[in-house]
C-alpha cells in the first residue's frame, strides 16, 4: 500500500510539473478581412479560439471552429460557411508553430517582437509559413499575450470566389489575432 501511495504521489507531482509549462486560452480572438475598397465590408470575428503555448520550447497551437466566425451580415455568414469555407466538411482551422529563440525570461510588460514558423490548415489544405512576426508581452494579470497579423491567399486553400462577386471579395485575406494565455 505504501508503494502505491508513493507512486501515486510521484505521478501527481510529475503531472503538475508538466502542466506548469503550459499557458492556455479558450477565448482567443481571431479576425479576418477580405474587403475590397468601395464595396461592402467582408470581415468576421471569432472570440472562442483555443490556443496553448509550451513555455519550455515556444511551441504553440491554435484551434478555431470555422462556424464560430461572426459577420455583420447574417447572409454573408451563411455564404461564407456554405460556399467558401464549406464548414460542414471542414469544421476546424488549425495552426501549429514554434516561436524562434523563445525564452520565457525575455517576456515582460513591453511588447516584444518575435518571429515564428509553422503550418496553417484550413479548408482541407495545409500551408507552411515562416519567419512571421508577432508581439508577445506579459499582461498586468500575468497572462502571456500573443498578437499579430498575417496575410494568406485564398488560392492556397482551394477556395473559389465566383466571378459574380470576384471584384467584391479580396483574394488576399488579412488575419489578425490576440491570444491572452493563462498559466494552466
* DSSP structure string for 148-175: EEEEEEGGGGTPPPPGGGTTTS-SEEEE
> Which is higher by pLDDT, 62 or 5?
62
- CA gap 130, 154 in Å, rounded: 18
Neighbours of 95 (CB within 10 A): 22
Confidence of residue 2 (pLDDT cuts 50, 70, 90): low
Residue 24: per-residue pLDDT: 97
Where do we find the cell 515562416?
130
Neighbours of 115 (CB within 10 A): 13
The string of pLDDT tens digits covering residues 45-97 is 999 999 999 999 999 999 999 999 999 999 999 999 999 999 999 999 999 99
Q: Tell me if residue 139 falls in helix, strand or coil.
A: coil
Nearest to 182 by CA among 18, 28, 10: 28
Mean pLDDT, the chain, integer: 90
Residue 13: per-residue pLDDT: 43
Nearest to 50 by CA among 72, 68, 70, 77: 68
Nearest to 117 by CA among 55, 181, 58: 58
Residue 1: per-residue pLDDT: 53
Nearest to 149 by CA among 135, 162, 137: 135
Please answer whether residues 23 and 53 qualify as being in contact, where contact means their C-beta atoms are separated by less than 8 angstroms. yes
Which cell numbers hold the place of 69? 466566425
Say whether pLDDT at 117 is over 90: yes
Confidence of residue 3 (pLDDT cuts 50, 70, 90): low
Mean pLDDT within 156-177: 92
Q: Tell me if residue 110 falls in helix, strand or coil.
A: coil
Residue 136: per-residue pLDDT: 97
Q: Phi/psi zone of residue 124: left (φ > 0), alpha (ψ -120 to 50 degrees), beta?
A: left
Residue 164: per-residue pLDDT: 86
Amino acid at each position: 500500500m505504501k508503494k502505491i501511495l508513493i507512486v501515486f504521489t510521484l505521478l501527481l507531482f510529475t503531472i503538475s510539473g508538466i502542466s506548469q509549462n503550459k499557458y492556455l486560452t479558450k477565448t482567443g480572438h481571431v479576425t479576418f478581412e477580405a474587403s475590397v475598397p468601395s464595396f461592402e465590408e467582408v470581415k468576421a470575428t471569432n472570440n472562442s479560439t483555443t490556443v496553448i503555448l509550451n513555455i519550455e520550447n515556444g511551441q504553440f497551437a491554435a484551434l478555431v471552429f470555422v462556424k464560430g466566425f461572426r459577420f455583420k451580415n447574417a447572409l454573408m455568414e451563411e455564404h461564407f460557411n456554405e460556399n467558401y469555407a464549406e464548414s460542414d466538411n471542414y469544421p476546424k482551422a488549425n495552426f501549429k508553430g514554434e516561436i524562434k529563440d523563445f525564452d520565457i525570461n525575455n517576456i515582460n510588460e513591453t511588447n516584444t517582437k518575435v518571429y515564428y514558423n509553422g503550418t496553417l490548415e484550413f479548408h482541407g489544405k495545409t500551408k507552411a509559413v515562416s519567419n512571421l512576426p508577432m508581439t508577445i508581452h506579459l499582461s498586468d494579470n500575468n497572462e502571456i499575450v500573443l498578437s499579430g497579423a498575417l496575410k494568406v491567399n485564398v488560392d492556397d486553400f482551394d477556395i473559389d470566389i465566383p466571378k459574380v462577386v470576384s471584384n467584391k471579395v479580396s483574394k488576399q485575406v488579412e488575419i489578425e489575432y490576440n491570444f491572452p494565455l493563462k498559466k494552466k
